[in-house]
């Protein structure tokens, strides 16, 4: 079975540009999470979707960040405009049950560098 | 406030030298404690879930145990391929989905 798929794997952009990260969760999973990982702050939950509906976006740093899940097999995380402090690895994870009492399965991540 | 502390930050072992990693937690009612392994340039990979004190789980050279205050990840006779960062996370009663993550222990096994 294919795991969580993320694209692109690496993104280098200049400050002020729009960045869109993409995620395809594992088929049949109805919980989806976007995380950001940095050396300083570790793993931070940005937003959680359940059955395609955003449940908790309190971790989104500011209005420059937005996320959508138009269907069960696709989600995007957009940063506009991007800033150097947004440089990090962004992970998407999915879980087979609502509200994820169980394990989360992570994608390979997108390494974002904002110059 | 819910909190997870992992120690040590880094651990270097010789191949075959057994040891343990620690995950101490403070949470308002534990719903689950999770161990993950993360290799450089990859996403965390799920290893174990523990739900109650006294529970143990094993997988190859790894064994996870749980008490009311901490969890240990015991590694027996490790091999170089066990080198990775090991992450611990907990879910408390206050959340149906939020995981509180530790900073991880970087494990290096020298041949």
Those residues with Cβ within 8 angstroms of residue A78's Cβ, 6 or more apart along the chain or in another chain:
A18, A19, A20, A21, A65, A66, A67, A68
Closest CA to B35 of B25, B11, A38, A1: B25
Q: Do B34 and A31 touch (CB under 8 A)?
A: no
Residues of A in contact with B45 (CB under 8 A): 106
Beta-bridge mates of residue A115:
none
What pLDDT is attached to residue B98? 85
The model's pLDDT over A65-113, given as tens digits with 9 standing for 90+, comes to: 999 999 999 999 999 999 999 999 999 999 987 655 578 999 999 999 9
The SS3 of residue A40 is: coil
What pLDDT is attached to residue B58? 97
As a whole number of angstroms, the distance between CA A113 and CA B47 comes to: 30
The model's pLDDT over B91-110, given as tens digits with 9 standing for 90+, comes to: 988 777 889 999 999 999 99
- The Cβ of residue A71 has, within 10 Å, a number of other Cβ atoms equal to 8
Asked if B107 and B47 touch (Cβ cutoff 8 Å), the reply is: no
The SS3 of residue A58 is: coil
Residues of B in contact with A4 (CB under 8 A): 43
- Chain B within 8 Å of A53 (Cβ-Cβ)? no
Candidates A39, A43, A90, A97, partner chain B, best to mutate (most B CBs within 10 A): A43
Residues of B in contact with A99 (CB under 8 A): 96-97
The model's pLDDT over B33-59, given as tens digits with 9 standing for 90+, comes to: 999 999 999 999 999 999 999 999 999
The tokens describing A28, both together, are: 């049949």
Q: Rg of chain B over CA atoms, in angstroms?
A: 13
The model's pLDDT over B18-38, given as tens digits with 9 standing for 90+, comes to: 999 999 999 988 989 999 999
Asked if A77 and A65 touch (Cβ cutoff 8 Å), the reply is: yes
Please name the member of B42, B91, B104 whose beta carbon is closest to the beta carbon of A108. B42
CA distances from A33 to A67, A72, B7, B58, B109 (A): 10, 13, 26, 27, 32
Helix (H) or strand (E) run with residue B22 in it? strand B19-26
What pLDDT is attached to residue A101? 59
Classify residue A102 by its DSSP letter: S
Q: Do A103 and B104 touch (CB under 8 A)?
A: no
Mean of the pLDDT values across residues A15-21? 97
Q: Rg of chain A over CA atoms, in angstroms?
A: 13
């Amino acid at each position: 079975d294919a795991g969580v798929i993320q694209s692109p794997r690496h993104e280098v952009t200049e400050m002020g540009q729009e960045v869109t990260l993409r995620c395809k969760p594992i088929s049949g999973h109805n919980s989806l999470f976007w995380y950001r990982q940095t050396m300083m702050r570790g793993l931070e939950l940005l937003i959680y979707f359940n059955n395609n509906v955003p449940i908790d976006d309190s971790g989104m740093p500011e209005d420059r960040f937005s996320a959508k899940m138009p269907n069960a097999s696709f989600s995007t995380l957009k940063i506009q405009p991007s800033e150097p402090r947004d440089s990090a690895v962004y992970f998407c994870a999915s879980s087979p049950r609502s509200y994820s009492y169980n394990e989360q399965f992570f994608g390979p991540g997108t390494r974002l560098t904002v110059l | 406030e819910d909190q997870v502390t992992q120690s040590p930050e880094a651990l270097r072992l010789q191949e075959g030298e057994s040891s343990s990693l620690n995950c101490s937690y403070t949470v308002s009612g534990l719903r689950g404690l999770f161990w993950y392994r993360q290799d450089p340039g990859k996403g965390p990979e799920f290893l174990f879930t523990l739900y109650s004190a006294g529970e143990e789980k094993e997988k190859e050279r790894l064994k996870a145990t749980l008490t009311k205050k901490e969890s240990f990840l015991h590694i027996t006779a490790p091999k170089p391929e066990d080198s990775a960062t090991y992450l611990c996370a907990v879910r408390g009663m206050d959340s149906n989905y939020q995981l509180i993550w530790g900073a991880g222990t970087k494990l290096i096994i020298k041949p």
